[in-house]
Structure 1
Amino acid sequence: MFRFLFQSVLSLLPAYISRETLTTLRKLLNSILFPFHFLIFMAQPQPQPQIQLQSHDPPPFNPLQPSVPISYPIKTLKDLASRAYFDSFHYPFNKSTVSLQNAAFELPNRPRILVCHDMQGGYVDDKWVQGGSNADAYAIWHWYLMDVFVYFSHNLVTLPPPCWTNTAHRHGVKVLGTFILEWDEGRTIANELLSTKESAHLYAERLAELVSALGFDGWLLNMEIELDVKQIPNMKEFISHLTQTMHSLVQGSLVIWYDSVTIDGDLQWQNQLNEKNKPFFDICDGIFVNYTWEENYPKLSAAVARDRKYDVYMGIDVFGRNTYGGGKWNTNVALDLLRKDDVSAAIFAPGWVYETKQPPDFETAQNRWWSLVEKSWGILQKYQKALPFYTNFDQGRGFHISIEGRQVSNASWNNISSQSFQPFLGFNDDPNSDTVQVLVDFKEASYSGGANLTFKGTLESDAQFTARLFEGELLSGDSPVHVSYSVKSKENSLLGLIMEFSSPTEGRKLVPITAEGTDQFLGKFSHIIVLDQVQNASGWSILEGEIEMNGYTITGIRAICYRPDPVDLAHGPAQYFAMLGHVTVKTAGQSSYFPPSSSWLVKGEYIKWTSGSEGSKILSIKISWGLLVRIFLHFPKYNVYVEKLAGKTFLNRSGRQETTYEYLGAAYVQAFYVSNLTVPSGVDSLKFIIQACDDTGSIQKLDDSPFFQLDV
């Protein structure tokens, strides 16, 4: 009882004390309690037979049975060796479908930032592959400030949910899972893992296979156990074989060692790269140094690493557990030192902002905290590097979903896979210093997805306000560049874009792109592009046109807020309000093509009917689809609808058949699981419609989309 109580307390301490202290406490606890444990056990009365009460707990999770798709870890070596994960119903849903661009395969030759995500044991809101219902779910959107993202939990094999891989890859960031051995159970697992050279190779190959199949980029190896020194050769075999197998299977893959067990088998965190852990560093792609280092350790580690100093990632614990500088709102203290000493950084648990509910709200606190990183290290990622470029400012959560300005759902939701390119918005500690505030807004109407970029504040008649949106390296080539964007604004509030072009011979040019009120730009810019403007049914203005800047590179996109010329603001406050719904930049030749419905095969599987109330039925079904002929077409997203068809035909006032499509969700693989769909009495059949979306933001017309029809 006492042992269980103490261990329960210890299990809560990692959020407050360092790993080294926790390990010392555990050893002390075991040494104190062991002599008493046997006596306490013998003194306990024998248990008497008891009446078993009926349990209402849900049945244990069975990965072979159809259910709402989730992400989950592998918890035993047996399951890893047997490849049981690939037999799971959930496996096909967990594949990442966004690949790294070629430019992101090799890590840059500079100091880098690795971000290790550790939150509440992992697999929280992000475990729901098709999305959850928590609009306040945790998310990261400062991808331009990191190079590598690690998904961490305390399970044996932590597989990153595909939502993280999809959005990180979209932004040029690599994603690693975690393989961890810890505590007494970890030592037992190590005995099997390292029993022979062949066993070490087997498990290394199983881990590499998972990376290749699921589409992420490698592993963080965290061996926080003591080993017999005789096991070290096979540990090195495991690391080396995993690294080599990964490199042969997955281009640009990484294996990073965590500073824990030493080459002597002792669990002694070195907090630097030295002779105790360098043999492991030498046979993989880098080391994540424990976060309780001292001021001179980064410089010492760089000297040991020599020409691989950027592969040394010095740990920083954002919770501040014995970390240099104290973490939290002083995380930049450690970052400043690492930048000066020219080594890489590993930021552990930036979700501290979310978990500790930093004021005034998550969005503001998150933007403020990451601004410390940007001020210390600057921008690390510029995206995108190839056309087309498309963003709808979606952060992967919200309170509604719109498609081309029409709201299709008013339910709260979260799905990080839906994140489009995130803007490089600056953070201002004094919001009153800017006349116009810029924010990603989830409450106001969106043109696409669940958010828009809102500009609101005050702006005088002759004033202009600009805001950085993106920094990129987009080569426009020799053909015209097609630009389109959507705006919804209040009277006298105009919103345009400024494209920044660069050329080795012609230098830098800023080109405003807008539809009206351009007289005030004359004399300030050498080029002004006036776009065509169309109003859609939902009140959004769609602006589009072409720019000929042959041989230039698009290096930035800014927003510009201004007034029409002339405008009279004498009789009221100069209130400004405008929303930017999406931005698309592509070459004139990058037109959208959607194969007709007849080109697709759509099927339904795992069909399950149950009875509902008032004569209704409840349906669960897996819908999957694919092109009948293999052609090189990739659609990053599919919207899924259902049309409930009744025997009687309902006509609207125009005498046409009334068609109502119910939005079910978005799929990022070619499958979607419909769970517990209510089918009212009187419905004769269900038509499940799969609407393809391409990488320019265009969507297939619903009437032309593939579908699966099911009789009720």
Structure 2
Amino acid sequence: MNPTRRTVLLVAGTGTAAALLPAGPAAAGQDAAARPAAEAAASALQPYASYWYPDSFPSGSPGAGITWRSLKAWSAATDADLAFNTASVPLAERFTPTPVNSTARAGQARIQSLVSFGPTASNPSQGAATADYYALTHWSYVDELVFWGGSSGEGLILAPNAPIVDAAHRHGVSVLGNVFLPPAAYGGQLQWTRDLVQKDAAGHYPLASQLVAVAEAYGFDGWFVNAETSGGNAALATDMLGFLTELKALSTAKRQRVTWYDSMTVSGSVSWQGALNNQNRVFYQAADTMFIDFRWSASSLASSGTNAQQIGRDRYELWAGVDVEANGWNRSVNWDAMVPSGSAHVVSVGFYRPEWTRNHLPATRTPGDFHAADDRFWSGRALDPARPDSTDTWRAPAVAVADRSTVSGLPFATTFNTGHGLRWYEDGEVTSTAQWNHLGLQDRLPSRRWVTRTTGQHPAVTLDFADAWRGGSSVLVDGTLDAPTTLDLYGTRLPLGPDTVVELTHRADSGDVSVELAVATAEPSGPGQPYSYTYFPVAAGDGWETSTVRLTGLPAGGTVHALGVRLTGAEGGGAVKWRLGGLAVRDGDAQAPGTPADASITGASGGDLRLAWRAPTGAGVRQYTLHRVLPDGTRRFLGGTAQQAFFVGGLTAEGGESAARFELRAVGELYTASAPATLTHTW
């Protein structure tokens, strides 16, 4: 059984304690060697997400597949996996469209999400050969993502995988690493707290500097500090405050942020307050935000918000913890204590372990099963933020928090790729039959899923994995179109020029349907009101069709505020299945990037290879793709990444070849590909 907060309560033997514990078989207090042998016996070349102890290690030896590392001893110059773990997408700026319903508010409560994407050890740096992954897509409601994990037997300080950071940054979401000092009941040692807050001869905190250096080198946005090891005293609390103060100062200089968890108090004891009060206020003042433990009440949150404002802070810098690890949307929550629908929000929301949307499903789950559950969690039972179900006891983020978007510059393109899939498609053809996940390949996805406007029946809209134009998924509209139906896709702030065109790649799988592009050049009249669209006919053909639409008649120099499609079925209605595989907005012809430079195989062990290259000059690069050229001349997709290094494993000779041939391409924002850099590996 994975440890949960309730497990800690039982082990600790107290009914008043609460704690944040990571997930996974190797969580504190469990033997990491119990992992499946196949996971432990990984290739020596396989790069993994990084994790450390502050300085000293536990007694004994690490379990299989685990490497004990000291953060104090870390340096970027000696980090052999740095190129695989460094994010490449800068944090995008966001804007807030007019809310899609009358209850979602802008500028008030925000959402923090604490997610365990995998185990502490043996968590691949750049995805894996399975589609079964927590591929979060509802970034528009999230302000801060914490890369949750850590255990006493593996390591306590976790840096997030680069693909997760790249996907989050593309949607404007900050990502924090995790500093976890476990409860004693789960193997926590007070020495590790002392290690973290040790001072040098000059009175500085060397591990504060190290944390900032790691975040800067790896390209993420700061740290969540969770000090839950009991046994401390006021002197240790003073050292922790000094450490946190220095960490915050160094972080601010690098545009990083720090979140403190409501655990240690000014006495040095671990006593979860469920509030901002005199026991933890100094730690909050030394940080950017604070996660309030789950034991909060309506009155404690009200007083916390007031206390924050009295010391000149924003009440929405407080995250009220909502534990959804065990029951997800079935969790009973006093929503009015945090995000009342009839008055101003009190504080922000901190979701603990929303990957329940994947984990609660049976082992036979598919990507479609996961996304259906994840849509239910973030959008609500109605699965349409514009038509929320007032009887739903789960107050989904879409009905409380205004969505945000980063679609504000040209060129913009999406192929509705979620970052995982059952196959890989290029131009509508399968170029790999292998399952995969890599969040760094995820596109910017529609933020309001799924808003359909019609006087007739509302069709079902999903991210579907049975077919795609590029990547692993497409948008599928499935239902009876007995009246014209408009599907909102993106809130945008795109400049409108005389040469602006929109390209749609689409296909009718069944039924008669006519398609129009919907373009809005202004915001709705108010929250909950629809966009006023102008509609442009879209040509259709057999199979996948890419239609180019000129925005004739719209004011040059204006702004595109929203994009959607309107679908009309045959007269009298009828069942329709229609796919949208791609959408692009551009002002000029698509330019391909240059060829990746100095591509080479930097490490080889049997069929396991490490590759590295330099970015080309010229047009911007979105990502890179690696294909294998088979003896018959066909190309097989092996993987893609936004980094300038890649690992591919398990290759074997095919068709009697003496050497394997590879092609590495740079891919631009409009998915134009460069000429290939070729590589060869002799068997």
Q: Quick check: 2:515–2:538 contact (8 Å CA) kept in 1?
A: no
Structure 2 residue 264 is matched with structure 1 residue 261: yes
Q: CA deviation at 1:433?
A: 8.1
Q: Quick check: 2:84–2:643 contact (8 Å CA) kept in 1?
A: yes
Q: Secondary structure at the match of 2:240?
A: helix
Give the letter for the 2:411 counterpart: P
Structure 2 residue 51 is matched with structure 1 residue 73: yes
Q: CA deviation at 1:333?
A: 5.6
Q: CA deviation at 1:136?
A: 2.8
Q: Secondary structure at the match of 1:240?
A: helix
Aligned to 2:172: 172
Tell me, which stretches of 5 or more residues in structure 2 are unaligned?
18-35, 57-69, 96-105, 380-394
For each residue in 1:275-330, what CA deviation from the matched residue of structure 2 results, as whole angstroms up to 9, or x when unmatched? 11111111221111111101111110111111421211111112479xxx996265
Aligned to 1:621: 609
State the TM-score, normalized to the length of structure 2: 0.80
State the TM-score, normalized to the length of structure 1: 0.77
Aligned to 1:419: 442
Q: 1:483 aligns with which of 489, 499, 502?
A: 502
Greater helix share, structure number: 1
Structure 2 residue 460 is matched with structure 1 residue 437: yes
Q: 1:553 aligns with which of 550, 556, 559?
A: 559
Q: 1:640 to 1:121 in 2, by over 3 A?
A: closer
Q: CA deviation at 1:24?
A: 4.2
Higher normalized contact order (CA 8 Å, seq sep 6+, divided by chain length): 2
Return the alpha-carbon distance in structure 1 between the equivalents of residues 147 and 290 of structure 2: 16
Q: CA deviation at 1:403?
A: 1.1
Q: Quick check: 1:97–1:636 contact (8 Å CA) kept in 2?
A: no
Q: Quick check: 1:315–1:345 contact (8 Å CA) kept in 2?
A: yes
For each residue in 1:241-267, what CA deviation from the matched residue of structure 2 results, as whole angstroms up to 9, or x when unmatched? 111111212x3x210111001011121
Output aligned runs, 1:169-248, within 5 Å.
169-184=169-184, 185-196=188-199, 201-226=205-230, 227-248=232-253
Q: 1:368 aligns with which of 372, 376, 379?
A: 376
Q: 1:337 to 1:266 in 2, by over 3 A?
A: farther
Q: 1:129 aligns with which of 110, 125, 128?
A: 125
Q: Quick check: 2:498–2:556 contact (8 Å CA) kept in 1?
A: yes
Q: Secondary structure at the match of 2:72?
A: helix
Q: Quick check: 1:319–1:328 contact (8 Å CA) kept in 2?
A: no
Aligned to 2:296: 293
Tell me, which stretches of 5 or more residues in structure 1 are unaligned?
1-10, 29-55, 517-532, 610-618, 646-657
Q: 1:97 aligns with which of 80, 88, 97?
A: 88
Return the alpha-carbon distance in structure 1 between the equivalents of residues 681 and 149 of structure 2: 41
Q: 2:468 aligns with which of 439, 446, 461?
A: 446
Q: CA deviation at 1:670?
A: 1.5
Give the letter for the 1:412 counterpart: Q
Aligned to 1:40: none
Return the alpha-carbon distance in structure 2 between the equivalents of residues 14 and 374 of structure 1: 24
Return the alpha-carbon distance in structure 1 between the equivalents of residues 10 and 534 of structure 2: 58
Aligned to 2:28: none
Structure 2 residue 287 is matched with structure 1 residue 284: yes
Q: CA deviation at 1:365?
A: 2.5
Range moving further from structure 2, 222-231 or 326-335: 326-335
Aligned to 1:14: 4
Aligned to 2:487: 467
Q: Secondary structure at the match of 2:301?
A: helix
Return the alpha-carbon distance in structure 2 between the equivalents of residues 290 and 685 of structure 1: 57
Q: 1:305 to 1:503 in 2, by over 3 A?
A: closer
Return the alpha-carbon distance in structure 1 between the equivalents of residues 227 and 615 of structure 2: 45
Q: 1:25 to 1:387 in 2, by over 3 A?
A: same
Q: 1:114 to 1:230 in 2, by over 3 A?
A: same
Q: CA deviation at 1:146?
A: 1.3
Q: Quick check: 2:511–2:574 contact (8 Å CA) kept in 1?
A: no
Q: 2:657 aligns with which of 673, 677, 683?
A: 683
Return the alpha-carbon distance in structure 1 between the equivalents of residues 110 and 209 of structure 2: 28
Q: CA deviation at 1:13?
A: 5.3
Return the alpha-carbon distance in structure 1 between the equivalents of residues 196 and 571 of structure 2: 77
Aligned to 1:542: 546
Q: Secondary structure at the match of 1:220?
A: strand
Q: 1:157 to 1:580 in 2, by over 3 A?
A: same
Q: 1:241 to 1:627 in 2, by over 3 A?
A: same
Q: 1:216 to 1:13 in 2, by over 3 A?
A: closer
Give the letter for the 2:6 counterpart: Y
Return the alpha-carbon distance in structure 1 between the equivalents of residues 600 and 352 of structure 2: 44
Q: 1:550 to 1:66 in 2, by over 3 A?
A: farther
Q: Quick check: 2:518–2:533 contact (8 Å CA) kept in 1?
A: yes
Give the letter for the 2:73 counterpart: S
Range moving further from structure 2, 490-499 or 449-458: 490-499
Q: CA deviation at 1:217?
A: 0.4
Higher radius of gyration, 1 or 2: 1
Q: 1:130 to 1:119 in 2, by over 3 A?
A: closer
Structure 2 residue 676 is matched with structure 1 residue 705: yes
Q: Quick check: 1:487–1:495 contact (8 Å CA) kept in 2?
A: no
Return the alpha-carbon distance in structure 2 between the equivalents of residues 57 and 365 of structure 1: 31
Q: 1:112 to 1:170 in 2, by over 3 A?
A: same
Structure 2 residue 661 is matched with structure 1 residue 661: no
Q: Quick check: 1:316–1:331 contact (8 Å CA) kept in 2?
A: no
Give the letter for the 2:609 counterpart: I
Return the alpha-carbon distance in structure 2 between the equivalents of residues 708 and 667 of structure 1: 17
Q: Quick check: 1:476–1:549 contact (8 Å CA) kept in 2?
A: no
Q: 1:412 to 1:434 in 2, by over 3 A?
A: farther
Q: 1:600 to 1:59 in 2, by over 3 A?
A: closer
Aligned to 2:65: none
Return the alpha-carbon distance in structure 2 between the equivalents of residues 157 and 664 of structure 1: 31
Q: Secondary structure at the match of 2:519?
A: strand
Q: Secondary structure at the match of 1:585?
A: strand
Q: 1:375 to 1:690 in 2, by over 3 A?
A: closer
Return the alpha-carbon distance in structure 2 between the equivalents of residues 410 and 326 of structure 1: 34
Q: Secondary structure at the match of 1:336?
A: coil
Q: 1:68 to 1:154 in 2, by over 3 A?
A: closer
For each residue in 1:466-498, what CA deviation from the matched residue of structure 2 results, as whole angstroms up to 9, or x when unmatched? 1221223x2415553221110111452223321
For each residue in 1:573-628, what CA deviation from the matched residue of structure 2 results, as whole angstroms up to 9, or x when unmatched? 71212110011112x14731322x5x73221222334xxxxxxxxx3322222257
Structure 2 residue 597 is matched with structure 1 residue 600: yes
Give the letter for the 2:114 counterpart: C
